[in-house]
Structure 1
Amino acid sequence: MAYDLEEQEKLEALKAWWERYGTLATAVVVVVALAVAGWSGWRAYQGYRANQAMGYFEALEDAARGVNGPGGADAATRIKAASDTLRSEYAGTAYASRGVLVAAQALEEKKDYAGAQRELEWLVARKDQSTLQPVARLRLAGLLLDQKQYDQALAQLNNPPAAFAALFADRRGDILAAQGKRDDARAAWQSALAAMPANAALKQIIQLKLDALSGA
Structure 2
Amino acid sequence: MFADYETEEQQVEAIKTWWEKNRLPIIGGAVLGIAAIFGYRAWDDSQTEARRAAADQFQAVAEAESLAQMETLASPLIAKGDFYGAGAAMIMAKKAVEAEDYAAAIGHLDTAEAALNNAELKPLVKVRKARVYLAMKDLPMAKQALPQGPEAYAGVIAEIKGDIAYAEGDLKTAYDLYDQALQSGKAVVSNRQLLTIKRDQSQAAFTGEQ
- Work out whether the TM-score is over 0.5: yes
Q: Distance in 2 between matches of 1:168 and 1:80?
A: 30
Please tell me the residue identity of whatever aligns with 1:169.
A
Please tell me the residue identity of whatever aligns with 2:51.
A
Cα distance change of structure 1 residues 106 and 213 upon mapping to structure 2, 3 Å threshold: same
Q: Distance in 1 between matches of 2:60 and 2:75?
A: 12
3-state DSSP of counterpart to 2:131 = helix
1:76 to 67, 72, 93: 67
Shift of residue 83 of structure 1? 2.8
Hey, what does 2:33 align to over in structure 1?
none
**Quick check: which one's helix share is greater?**
1
* Number of residue equivalences: 162
1:61-210 mapped onto 2 (5 Å cutoff): 61-63=62-64, 66=65, 75-89=66-80, 91-93=81-83, 95-126=84-115, 128-196=117-185, 200-210=189-199
C-alpha contact 1:126 1:133 (8 A) present in aligned 2: no
C-alpha contact 1:166 1:192 (8 A) present in aligned 2: yes
What root-mean-square deviation, in Å, do the aligned CA atoms of Structure 1 and Structure 2 show? 2.7
Hey, what does 1:23 align to over in structure 2?
none
Q: Distance in 2 between matches of 1:152 and 1:104?
A: 17
Please tell me the residue identity of whatever aligns with 1:50.
R
Shift of residue 185 of structure 1? 1.3
Higher RCO (C-alpha under 8 Å, 6+ residues apart): 2
Q: Distance in 2 between matches of 1:184 and 1:87?
A: 39
Structure 1 stretches of 4+ with a deviation exceeding 4 A read none
Segments of 5+ residues of structure 1 without an aligned counterpart are: 1-43, 67-74
Q: Distance in 2 between matches of 1:45 and 1:197?
A: 36
Shift of residue 128 of structure 1? 1.9
Cα distance change of structure 1 residues 212 and 140 upon mapping to structure 2, 3 Å threshold: same
Q: Distance in 2 between matches of 1:118 and 1:45?
A: 35
Shift of residue 171 of structure 1? 1.1
TM-score relative to the length of structure 1 = 0.65
Cα distance change of structure 1 residues 129 and 161 upon mapping to structure 2, 3 Å threshold: same
Identity of aligned residues (%): 25
Cα distance change of structure 1 residues 137 and 158 upon mapping to structure 2, 3 Å threshold: closer
Please tell me the residue identity of whatever aligns with 2:68.
T
TM-score relative to the length of structure 2 = 0.66
Q: Distance in 2 between matches of 1:209 and 1:169?
A: 12
C-alpha contact 2:172 2:202 (8 A) present in aligned 1: no
Segments of 5+ residues of structure 2 without an aligned counterpart are: 1-44, 206-210
Cα distance change of structure 1 residues 83 and 179 upon mapping to structure 2, 3 Å threshold: farther
Deviations 1:70-104 (A, max 9, x none): xxxxx333333433321222x333x2232222221
3-state DSSP of counterpart to 2:48 = helix
